[in-house]
A and B are shown apart, each in its own frame.
Chain A
Amino acid sequence: GLFVWRLRNTGTQQMPCRFVHLYHVASDRLITFQYSNFLKRMYVTQCNRDLSQRAKPKPDSIVSPFHELQQLDQEKKAVHKISPVSPVHQSWSETLSRNELREAKSAAESSDSVIPVGAESKEDRQWKEMKLRLDDLPGILARLSKIKLTALVVSTTSAGFAMAPVPFELTCFLLASLGTGLASCAANSINQFFEVPFDSNMNRTKNRPLVRGQISPLLAVCFAASCGIPGIALLTLGVNSLTGALGAFNIFLYTCCYTPLKRMSIANTWVGAVVGAIPPIMGWTAATGSLDAGALLLGGILYSWQFPHFNALSWGLREDYSRGGYCMMSVTHPGLCRRVALRHCLALIGLSTVAPVLNITTWTFPVISLPINLYISYLGFRFYRDADRSSSRRLFFCSLWHLPMLLLVMFTCKKSVLEKEDKGDLPGRSHERAMEIRLP
């Protein structure tokens, strides 16, 4: 399971995350990148033995795309009476439900009886006709394609496009964004198509359209095809073949490698990180047409970022992953989980320092980004040392605002094209372009 995955909204423009996985991770934890800006997040805590549930509403949160299951919907708060629990032996298995605030029925492992949470649950408990209603379709498709995660992925692609050392072309930018968005929708739909019984069993993902029978698997596959094929075609024909190839490869990686791998080995996390790293590379190649060191650096930053983000998130979902049969580091190799998260926090510092060396940014970038990189590394270290829920949550939430801020700072420190042109080392663009810039 990737899963699943919740962020606190900082109010700043959030940059996309990677192509999600899920797989829940992540469910998937698939490499899904999704942030949803300004999402309310609800925590649903489930007492192990009690059926009572308490939901704590959280302020706007950003949904992490990494977890595949982020669906952002209207949240409804359900508050339950919580029986007193002995302070000594208190154990909560917490499940973070990202999008919907549905009340929960205690369909969880340890429930013996069900406590209806409210009106929604009653409606949820009814039998529904499996007929597709056209006015519901947009909402259903939005949830199927994980539209918020897709939006985040598209923003990462835009970041890659923006950082490329070439003059900005609007049509190219729009085509690249649209193509990437369509490809992401396709990949997410196929992911959900593959994971129906697993999603039903995990709290984060049990309200997905296929799980609830709102749409048939055939329709889901057709939708995926009708998004993916035009999306890749758009990228190949409208932008360039390299971007199209990367897009197609990413869809393949996400649906055929990451999704099945989630249930087979912990290597899925690394594959997922690659899935997340590819969209900014796609943005870069869309702008420049070639795979430069800069593209790889941007991809590398997103790749490294995935680890503290996902590992911290998965720390709180261990029960669901274990029961659902998802092979995640947090369950099978907890020490490795924390080590890798810390390692990659530190790698972010290194990568930020390499950026000016590759002429992508000025030297102010590593200087300005040092505080936030050091902060996330500090939280990574605390997570490594303490290995508890609070440190994992702190790290996770930090990762939510860390990436957008890092990309923003990177953009403001971008080495201007003119400057580079003066220095005579304009990469990858034709000479006419250079002339265009020169002429006032």
Chain B
Amino acid sequence: PPAHSHSDWIGPPDKHSNLRPVIFYVPPDESALERRLREARQEAQASNQRFWARHNRAFRQEKEEFIYSRLKAKGLEMRDESGQKATLNAEEMADFYKDFLSKNLKKHLQYNRDWYKRNFRITFLMGQVALVRALRWLRRRKKNVEQ
């Protein structure tokens, strides 16, 4: 993002986590409240990134392993004559999907709880910051009018 910009910038989705990273703008006159908000958002972003990158990587890996073991059981190779990687159809993959979901359910429940808490906290802080800014702006306008 350009140096002169006064707003946050959001980027393309991350390769591993599919989440879009945000670069936060730190204003020179950042108040304590604004700093708390920014840090909360940064922390949430980092935590989400960690979770999803790891989760997606695990999914990809386990999927490969599953395909490999199934193909092996069928007596087929990973790559066929034309060099294409062999894949299984949706019905055969269904067992894997079911398995993966149940294995990760507990992890997801924990993550859900964390995410909801973080989301509410960040939004509440945003509300507080917006309120403070609005009051400040009103006060400034009043002063301008009086002058």
Contact = CB atoms under 8 A, between A and B. Distances in A.
Contacts, number: 160
Nearest to A220: B123
B90 A389 contact: yes
Contacts of B119: 193-194, 196, 217
Contact of B13 (A130, A200, A323): A200
B137 interface: no
B12 A125 contact: yes
Interface residues of A, number: 59
Looking at chain B's contact residues, the main secondary structure is helix
A271 interface: no
A212 interface: yes
Given A84-B82, A389-B90, A318 B123 contact: no
A130 B38 CA distance: 14
Contacts of A357: none
Interface in B10-38: 10-13, 15, 17-20, 22-23
A388 B105 contact: no
Interface stretch (A3-11, A17-25, A324-332): A324-332
Interface string A94-123: 100000000001010110001000000000
A260 B112 contact: yes
A76 to B, nearest CB: 17
Contacts of A130: 7-10, 22
Contacts of B86: 86, 89
A91 interface: yes
The residue in A90, A127, A260, A389 that gathers the most chain B C-beta atoms within 10 A of its C-beta is A127
A129 B90 contact: no
Contact of A91 (B11, B15, B90, B101): B90
Contacts of A84: 82, 84
B97 A129 contact: no
A131 B48 CA distance: 23
A213 B80 contact: no
B89 A218 contact: no
B116 to A, nearest CB: 7
A263 B112 contact: yes
Given A206-B18, A332-B102, A85 B97 contact: no
B75 to A, nearest CB: 12
Contacts of A430: none
A211 interface: yes
A209 B60 CA distance: 27
B69 interface: no
Nearest to B20: A213
Contact of B101 (A49, A93, A316, A327): A327
A310 interface: no
A197 B52 contact: yes
A65 to B, nearest CB: 24
B130 A319 contact: no
Interface in A329-344: 331-332, 334
A157 to B, nearest CB: 30
A290 interface: no
Interface in B33-84: 48, 52, 55-56, 59-60, 63, 71, 76, 80-82, 84
Contacts of A331: 94, 97-98, 101
Nearest to B76: A89
B132 interface: no
B104 A86 contact: no
B126 A217 contact: yes
A216 B126 contact: yes
A89 B80 contact: yes
A321 B108 CA distance: 12
Given A129-B7, A129-B8, A130-B8, 15 more contacts: A89-B76, A91-B87, A109-B59, A128-B9, A193-B119, A197-B48, A200-B20, A200-B52, A221-B123, A318-B93, A322-B100, A323-B59, A325-B108, A325-B111, A331-B101
Q: Which 10 A-B pairs have the closest CB atoms?
A: A213-B10, A322-B97, A91-B87, A325-B108, A49-B85, A218-B126, A89-B86, A130-B8, A125-B12, A48-B87
17 contacts: A86-B80, A91-B90, A91-B92, A107-B18, A126-B12, A127-B23, A128-B10, A129-B1, A197-B52, A201-B17, A213-B20, A213-B22, A316-B90, A321-B101, A323-B100, A388-B91, A389-B90
Interface of B: 1, 5, 7-13, 15, 17-20, 22-23, 48, 52, 55-56, 59-60, 63, 71, 76, 80-82, 84-94, 96-98, 100-102, 104-105, 107-109, 111-112, 115-116, 119, 122-123, 126-127, 130
